[in-house]
Structure 1
Amino acid sequence: MGGAEQQARDTVIVGYTVYAPAGSDWRTTDQVRIRGEVCEITGEPGDWGRSPFTGTRGPMQFAADRVTG
């Protein structure tokens, strides 16, 4: 594909918020498959910690983006 053809393409970014099972080990350098598409983890994955009422661990949360174009 030539440079002129690439310039005419639009860039589309699809963003997701992912809630993974407690204890998951995700890093900003990882990729994740969402709905069959490979996405890049963006930002720092966060841990919801433990519930003060039940003591159970909450999910891991992170953002992931798929960029096309």
Structure 2
Amino acid sequence: MPRQSTPTVGGDEQQARDTVIVGFTVYAPSGTDWRTTDRVRIRGEVCEITGEPGDWGQSPFTGTRGPMQFAADRVTG
């Protein structure tokens, strides 16, 4: 799922350049192992996982497992 964010104006990421952060919220199959140090290819672009991946866990109603969710960003500029 595409998402967009921008760095804080005047922050370290934006000194003397235009920084663009393109990001995605990824829903991966349950049981997959993703870490904050991993990179993932989305639409042909290499993105870094940002933040801690979240496991939706098991439904108390059906017993099925939900997806793994994580944010992935590509920073340019």
Same fold (TM over 0.5): yes
Pick from 31, 42, 50: which aligns with 2:50? 42
Cα offsets for 1:10-39 (capped at 9, x unmatched)? 211011110000001000000000111000
Q: Which has the higher contact order (CA 8 A, sep 6+)?
A: 1
How does the TM-score come out when normalised to structure 1?
A: 0.84
Number of residues of Structure 1 aligned to a counterpart in Structure 2 = 63
* Structure 1 residues not aligned, in runs of 5+: 1-6
**Matches of residues 19-58 of structure 1 in structure 2 within 5 Å?**
19-58=27-66
Shift of 1:8: 6.4
RMSD of aligned residue pairs (Cα, Å) = 1.4
Distance 2:69 2:16 in 1: 35
Give the % identical residues: 92
Question: Radius of gyration: which is bigger?
Answer: 1
Unaligned 5+ residue runs, structure 2?
1-14
Show the counterpart of 2:74. 66
Q: TM-score, normalised by structure 2?
A: 0.76
